């Protein structure tokens, strides 16, 4: 699950826990899956997503909206759970789902799923833990969206190991936040550093309006949140703690470079 605004550091761990619980429950409940393919859509319910079924996102991302406002984005492994407020008619629903790309989902009969879950004590405990985890995620999403006059609209993208997230010399059109994974920093094809989960990437080039000074390449499978340069200032104003995060990340990079200089000088 990807939030639409800045959240605390516990969110990534909770999101991983939610996906792991979902995977384990679906395997143990042994529910038959029916595939659903959604193309680019602003209304997934009208496009065939049944609000009374349970779905797992197999590939792509699905943004959850309420009253046409984006709340969060579901990623691979996340569950789409039925919502009590949704009616059979899509026209009456204020909660909906949209996607900019093709999304593959597996659909499960809710009654069959619940029979498999509640018929086993361990499954029932895991289901309770999943619901508590989802509640914790929702609380953090709501808190991150409250009391803000303007919200930037970040995007989301996966990168596989070896794929380039930022290319040295390119125009700095986005600021990235590494939501999951590890990436390496290269200057003239030489590895000079590493970027870890939770760090902000490429802000300096955006702030100085200079071309990218280094290449950033995925070391493991990476999930990044990206914000267009024209919305970055808005995001900083609405999230003052991001300034502190930027300073901390820059300090980390400087410390790593200093260590590399020391290591090279003693060789």
Domain definitions of the chain by residue range: 2-145, 155-265
Tell me the C-alpha distance between 129 and 56, whole Å.
Answer: 17
pLDDT at 202: 82
pLDDT at 210 exceeding the cut of 90: no
pLDDT, average across residues 150-156 = 54
pLDDT at 186: 92
The phi, psi pair for 19, rounded to 5°, reads -65, -40
- Residues 6+ positions from 68 with CB-CB distance below 8 Å: none
Q: In which band, very low, low, confident or very high, does the pLDDT at 150 lie, cut at 50, 70 and 90?
A: very low
What would the pLDDT profile of 238-257 be if each residue is shown by its tens digit? 554 445 455 555 555 555 55
Opening angle at CA 179, ends 163 and 153, nearest 5: 100
pLDDT at 182: 92
What is the length of the chain? 267
CATH number for the region 155-265 comes to 2.60.120.10
Domains 2-145 and 155-265 are alike in CATH topology: yes
What would the pLDDT profile of 52-103 be if each residue is shown by its tens digit? 888 999 988 888 887 777 888 888 888 888 775 554 444 445 678 888 888 9
The model's pTM: 0.52
pLDDT at 158 exceeding the cut of 90: no
Q: Give a three-class secondary structure readout of 50-114.
A: CCCCEEEEEECCEEEEECCEEEEEECCCCEECCCCCCCCCHHHCCEEEEECCCEEEEEECHHHHH
pLDDT at 235 exceeding the cut of 80: no
Give the CATH fold of the 2-145 domain: Jelly Rolls (2.60.120)
State in Å, rounded, how far the first CA of the chain is from the last one: 45
Looking at the chain, the whole-number percentage of residues with pLDDT higher than 70 is: 75
């Amino acid at each position: 699950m990807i939030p639409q605004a800045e959240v605390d550091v516990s969110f990534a761990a909770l999101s991983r826990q939610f996906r792991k619980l979902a995977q384990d429950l679906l395997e143990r409940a042994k529910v038959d899956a029916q595939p659903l393919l959604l193309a680019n859509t602003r209304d997934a319910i009208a496009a065939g997503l049944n609000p009374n079924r349970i779905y797992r996102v197999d590939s792509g991302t699905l943004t959850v909206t309420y009253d046409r406002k984006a709340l969060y984005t579901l990623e691979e492994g996340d569950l789409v759970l039925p919502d009590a407020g949704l009616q059979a008619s899509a026209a009456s629903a204020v909660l909906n789902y949209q996607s900019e790309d093709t999304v593959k989902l597996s659909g499960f009969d809710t009654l069959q799923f619940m029979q498999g879950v509640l018929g086993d004590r361990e499954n029932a405990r895991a289901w309770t833990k999943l619901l508590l985890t989802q509640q914790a995620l929702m609380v953090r999403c709501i808190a991150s969206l409250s009391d803000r006059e303007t919200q930037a609209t970040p995007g989301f993208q996966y990168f596989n190991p070896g794929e380039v997230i930022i290319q040295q010399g390119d125009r700095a059109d986005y600021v990235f936040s590494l939501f999951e994974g590890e990436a390496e920093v290269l200057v003239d094809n030489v590895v000079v550093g590493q970027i870890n989960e939770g760090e902000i990437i490429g802000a300096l080039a955006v702030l100085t309006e200079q071309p990218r000074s280094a290449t950033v390449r995925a070391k493991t499978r990476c999930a990044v949140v990206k914000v267009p340069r024209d919305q970055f200032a808005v995001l900083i104003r609405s999230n003052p703690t991001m300034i502190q995060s930027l300073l901390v990340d820059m300090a980390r990079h400087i410390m790593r470079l200093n260590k590399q200089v020391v290591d090279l000088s003693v060789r």
